[in-house]
Chain A
Amino acid sequence: MSEPRPNIAVLRFPGMNCEEETRRSVLAAGASCDIFMWNGPTSRLKDFDGYVLPGGFSYQDRVRAGAIAAKDRVVDCLFEQAEAGKPVIGICNGAQILIEAGMVPGIRVGRVEMGLAHNIMPDRDGYYTRWTHLVVAHRESCATAALEPADTVPIPVAHAEGRFVTTEEGLVDRLFEAGQVVLTYGAPDGTPASGFPDNPNGSSRNIAGISNPAGNVVAMMPHPERSSWMFQLPENLPGEWGRRRREAAGGDALFGAGPGLGVMSSLVRFIENSGREA
């Protein structure tokens, strides 16, 4: 008899708008998946094996992106489940919630140790969307476990507040040293981004995704659900994935796995590996 598939909750706060495509991406990675409303019973939320906070505009980004949702009671449940070792991935607005709640970087759990500040870009201001080329900086996390260290992973960003910042001296160095910076922005050839637009928001040292010390909670600004199938990739995408996309044009390969699916596959693998270790 085969093992039951991991069951993932995509947690929907009011104002989010990426929950359905995120659910489809999780399903494509081999898990079962439900969308769970923020005001649903937390007794049922505890039954899931892992959690994804999708993108969007929770509470219309009022006050500050993610700030109000971070205070919701349902986040208490996420804290408990993360403490028990279950994985949590926050994508874009989901990442903003995890940062504002103090789940990431989580050196002192529950303390706000970072912010996601407004983008800083030359000659422009505000919301910005672009394909980015992510470099896997560390694999030991629930968002990168199935990605190869040398992979350059094209995934788009779309945000106005995505610049990881902190006033805590030395924190960014410590996060790199501890392997908590799991994704960075790179050039299409995988070398570190040397500035805008490869680093689309001015994030400190090209940080695109950060985990907690245990690696089971990840806040990442790019949207993997938007590059989970080949047909989502633009034909003019540079690099290896762009070549594959052009080769797939017009054929069934267009419906094959895209680079972003690796993030959801990582989530599934992380749960499966946790189960084997338990």
Chain B
Amino acid sequence: MATRHSFFLSVELKATGNEARSALEAVQEKMGLRDQVSGLAREDLWEIDVDARTVEGARETIEQLVRTTNLFANPNKHKYTLANVGGAEPGAASWAAGLEGDEVAVLVTDRESTEGESVLSAIRRIGVDDVVSIRKWTRWRIRLAEPPTRGDTDVLALIRRIGVATGRRDGLLSNPHSQISRAVLPWGEEKVLAA
């Protein structure tokens, strides 16, 4: 009998990501946060649910889709990792996977996301029925000049200032009217930025 398996497929460019470079320049120069932020990286994070008898079977379904279609990644320019995050709502630790001690993550997705549905529809058209849902996130990894520590409210304020566009000066990575966003701290704690 098939059970539900959830995976994160993380896709990033092999080469330097120009989008992340532009975002970093905007944060450091246009928003004046050069002293607080030292790096920025970007990846597409696909949250994929698959119904399969085994987790290995579910993994193989996704691996095959990645290898044989260009829907998620182009092997000439992207690298990817696939992680099983269980069968229920992924925990904060899953979202924090791969973060280094001086990094925090901001996760962004559209409030009314249609991209996942479009990809799901394309997958159905090629006869794959066991993928049941797909949602695309952007995961921004922000490298801070000072490693964050638990309970540091200044760090959360800084992440919010970078993560949520609330004003002319404040916020870049998400627009709270069209997108939802979350902050993830390296020890696996999650904070809602825009619900």
Contacts and interface: CB of A to CB of B under 8 A. Distances in A.
A165 interface: yes
Interface in A154-178: 163, 165-168
B22 interface: yes
Say which size band chain B's interface belongs to. 20 to 34
Interface string A51-68: 000000001101110011
A114 interface: yes
Contacts, number: 91
Interface stretch (B55-63, B76-84, B149-157, B163-171): B163-171
A186 to B, nearest CB: 23
B168 to A, nearest CB: 4
A71 B169 CA distance: 7
A110 B179 contact: no
B19 A63 contact: yes
B67 interface: no
Nearest to A166: B177
A75 B177 contact: no
B23 A112 contact: no
Interface string B33-62: 000000000000000000000000000000
A182 interface: no
A125 interface: yes
* Listed residue (B19, B22, B172, B175) with the most chain A CB atoms within 10 angstroms of its CB: B175
Contacts of A60: 18-19, 22
A115 to B, nearest CB: 3
A62 B171 CA distance: 14
Interface string A83-123: 00000000000000000111000000011111111101000
B114 A125 contact: yes
A215 B174 CA distance: 27
A70 interface: yes
Given A67-B172, A75-B168, A117-B178, 18 more contacts: A62-B22, A67-B165, A68-B30, A71-B31, A71-B168, A72-B30, A100-B165, A101-B168, A102-B168, A110-B169, A111-B168, A112-B168, A113-B177, A115-B175, A115-B177, A115-B178, A125-B114, A166-B177
Interface of A: 59-60, 62-64, 67-68, 70-73, 75, 79, 100-102, 110-118, 120, 125-126, 163, 165-168
